[in-house]
Structure 1
Amino acid sequence: MVGLLKRFRYTIEADLHQLFDKKESKNPLAMLNQYIREAEKQTEQTGKLLQRQAQLKEQLQSELKETTAMLEKRTKQLELAQQANEIDLVGFASQEVESYKTRQYTLLNSIEECNKEFVELEQKFETMKHKIKDMKVRQLQLMGKENVTRAHHKMDEVLKSKDESEFDDLSSYIETLADKIEKDYERTQLEARLASLEKANPVTVSIEMKKEETQA
């Protein structure tokens, strides 16, 4: 039964991996965005664990400080009890000294281990942050490629929607329109010059008009 359940679980995991692979091949940017969100979430959680580990280390150091102080105190009391030949106090102080020694040894080992683990966690935490930065750079690269691909696709659609004859007709129309605008401009300029001549020579114009009236 257990073997069957394991095979069933592995089959589901394989199907999920295959599904993710298909999604990634279809939309790598969307999958990368999802990976970044998950990585940022995990990094945030790791940062909280790192802070918690630092707090635990401080608590262990505080316990060690207290234990060391009590060990020194009980050691001195043991010496006093031995000097006073107080048998019951010697027995009690001896037990206390051994207890604090054992606790001190345990705390020292725990702090040493905690320091190692803290350094490892810190290194992995920094590595995770670098990985996220690298993924975000990759994200920008993919966004740029996606943008270029879409731009090419849009341009290809425009180019495919118009054949060469349609573009030739459009070019001819633009050239004709340009010629018309140019001629209208030239005509306007000529008319303006004639009007200027009329204003500059009003007498001559008046004589010419009288001649035309006489002939009529």
Structure 2
Amino acid sequence: MNTLFEKIKQAIKDDFYEVAETQKKTNPISLLNQYLRESEREVKKASKLIERQKLLRDEFYKEWQEIEKMAEKRKEQGEIALKAGAEDLSEIALREQAQYEERADRLKNVYDNSVHQLEELEQKYREMKLKLKDMHMKRLELMGQENVVLMKNKMNRVLKDTEFGTPAENMENIGKLFEREEKKANDEYEISIFDARIQQLAKDLNKQDSGDLRDNS
């Protein structure tokens, strides 16, 4: 019995050291959690980049529209100067009109590029979020698999045969041992009761014999 209890204590110690060693080893779910945290940080960075790109796009559009207005304004001013016979002012207006139109064309290209870049960023951002969602689902799937593996290992440990037999047999043996101890105690108790009753009967007989002797005398 002591040997069995020592075996149980040793099994508990083995479980403790096994858990400690497992924590030291590389855990796939821990690695996945770390990768998820890094990916979430990247998704947040991408979100900020998109917001900044939107601000740039709006700024390019605003600047482009202002330059277009200035080009249109110089065009109208040149026509007025030409009608008024102020050819020098008309030439200045037409020259600045051309400069503004050239700048407007450049800004339109910059604006169009910023729109295209924003669309690409938003597409990548959507893909990142979908990938992150898939990774979260994969983590849940792996956690489920881990639970099954851990449960099977524990069940196998319970059901596994040892040099003392299966755990169920060990429990049955302990139960039989307790039954024998209980029977032994009951037998000893019955013997004690038997001895006590015999002693009492002997005393009663002695008293009766003593009484009969007095009566005869």
Q: TM-score, normalised by structure 1?
A: 0.63
Give per-residue Cα distances to partners, 1:53-105, cap 9 Å, x unaligned: 11111111111221121111111001111112223312321221011101111
Q: Where in structure 2 are there 5+ consecutive unaligned residues?
A: 1-24, 180-217
Compared with structure 1, are the counterparts of its residues 108 and 165 closer, same or farther at alpha carbon in structure 2 (3 Å cutoff)? closer
CA distance in 2, matches of 1:44, 1:165: 55
Q: Where in structure 1 are there 5+ consecutive unaligned residues?
A: 1-24, 178-216
What CA RMSD, in Å, does the superposition of the two structures yield over aligned residues?
Answer: 2.5
Instruction: State the match for 1:200 in structure 2.
Output: none
Instruction: State the match for 1:170 in structure 2.
Output: 171
Compared with structure 1, are the counterparts of its residues 92 and 166 closer, same or farther at alpha carbon in structure 2 (3 Å cutoff)? closer
Q: Report SS of the residue matched to 1:77.
A: helix
CA distance in 2, matches of 1:114, 1:27: 43
The reply to whether residue 124 of structure 1 matches residue 124 of structure 2 is: yes
Instruction: State the match for 2:27 in structure 1.
Output: 27
The one-letter code of the counterpart of 1:164 is G
Q: How does 1:105-144 map to 2 (within 5 A)?
A: 105-144=105-144
Instruction: State the match for 1:75 in structure 2.
Output: 75
- Greater Rg by CA: 2
Q: CA deviation at 1:169?
A: 5.3
Instruction: State the match for 1:58 in structure 2.
Output: 58
Compared with structure 1, are the counterparts of its residues 165 and 47 closer, same or farther at alpha carbon in structure 2 (3 Å cutoff)? closer
CA distance in 2, matches of 1:165, 1:73: 98
The one-letter code of the counterpart of 1:65 is Q
Instruction: State the match for 2:97 in structure 1.
Output: 97
Q: CA deviation at 1:41?
A: 0.6
Q: TM-score, normalised by structure 2?
A: 0.63
